Copies of this chain bind each other. A is one copy, B any other.
Amino acid sequence: MSAIEELALEFAKLPGIGRKTAMRLTYHLLKQPPEASKRLAGALATLSERVHPCGTCGNLTETATCAICTDPRRDASLLCVVEDASDISAIERSGEFRGTYHVLGGRLSPLDGVGPDDLAVEPLKRRVAMGDVREVIVATNPSLEGDATAVWLQRELAASGVSVTRIARGLPVGGDLEYADVVTIAQALSARRVMA
């Protein structure tokens, strides 16, 4: 196989990148100075060597414990449970959350063979049992499986006496009633709040 086909093949393995885009990316790099490909190659090579899960929350980090867990200004009594580490950066970008996180490592998904034993619920229970946690916010995705996982988590944590909450559902900011799906509209209506 030629070097061009080889690189295009590797690009095409990435999510959302088809054969044509993979070729376009490859030809783009061929038009750039060789340093462009080399920098990308270097960043890829060091990625898996430097990055691993945080020993406390499961967030991806280059240190033993991640920057959020070690930050004394973060509220450790507020624990936000997410499916994946990538969800943490999405929430962090909102700048609204000052608590800490716990990465579940997925969601209950019988069809994909993901059961309770595949998710990091025991480490979560241990963190809650240590007594410092006041509230667990379940921020699994607002999907069927994410919701089922939330209900299951709530039951798992019920004995501990901690308060378990779920992120709100409703119309997204900038959304349009006309184009919203009926389930979202129904949820936005039933979760309506008194205006201050």
Q: Which residues of A contact B (CB under 8 A)?
A: 2-4, 6-7, 9-11, 13-17, 21, 23-31, 34, 36-51, 60, 62, 84-86, 89
Contacts and interface: CB of A to CB of B under 8 A. Distances in A.
Nearest to A38: B45
Contacts of A17: 25
Given A21-B16, A30-B60, A43 B2 contact: no
Number of copies of this kind of chain in the complex? 2
A27 B62 contact: no
A42 B36 CA distance: 14
Contacts of A7: 40, 43-44, 47
Nearest to A16: B21
Given A14-B25, A48-B37, A6 B85 contact: no
Contact of A41 (B25, B41, B89): B41
A59 B14 CA distance: 27
A114 to B, nearest CB: 13
Contacts of A42: 41
Given A11-B40, A41-B42, 6 more contacts: A2-B62, A3-B47, A3-B49, A3-B51, A27-B60, A37-B48
